[in-house]
Amino acid sequence: MIEFYYETEFKIENEAKVSEWISNTIIEEGFELGEIVYVFCDDTYLHRLNVEFLNHDTLTDIISFDYSMGKLISGEIYISIERVLDNSNDFDTTFLNELNRVIIHGILHFCGYKDKDREAQRLMRAKEDEALLRLID
């Protein structure tokens, strides 16, 4: 089950299509869908979580809490719409493309992909790109 919650005025236009895409990505990676909760918020909301739970006093676009067990993928993913918008401008891409990249980035973390070193970042980016192509189809 995938649920979407909004702490801002932003709303995903086609939740059913995005949910199916997320679910298919999980299956493509060899896992099963458990319970995924997305919370779309602003910088202030996400910064507060970053400080409280991770001891990071910085802005970020995404924080994920992984509750997966074995092959069952579950967790909470918090996304700052403000950061996504700023990043889309910084990376010269559309807001929607950057949003979808961040949406699937959290799922890929739950599937075991990391992004702490250069090689892991390359693999994560390749997996994001693969997933984004499936969303377009």
What does the pLDDT look like over 87-122, one tens digit per residue? 999 999 999 999 999 999 999 999 999 888 999 899
Per the annotation, does 47 bind a ligand?
no
- Residue 115 annotated as binding? yes
Rounded to a whole number, what is the largest CA-CA distance in the chain? 40
Cβ contacts of 69 within 8 Å, gap of 6 or more: 34
Q: What whole-number distance in Å separates Cα of residue 137 and Cα of residue 131?
A: 10
Q: Which domains does the chain have, with CATH numbers?
A: 2-136 (3.40.390.30)
Average per-residue pLDDT in the chain? Answer: 94
CA–CA distance, 89 with 104 (Å, rounded to integer) = 19
- Confirm whether residue 109 is marked as ligand binding: yes
Which pLDDT belongs to residue 135?
A: 86
Predicted confidence (pLDDT) per residue in 37-74, tens digit: 999 999 999 999 989 888 888 888 999 999 999 999 99
Closest alpha carbon to 65 in 39, 32, 29: 39
Read off the amino acid at residue 109. H
pLDDT at 20 over 70: yes
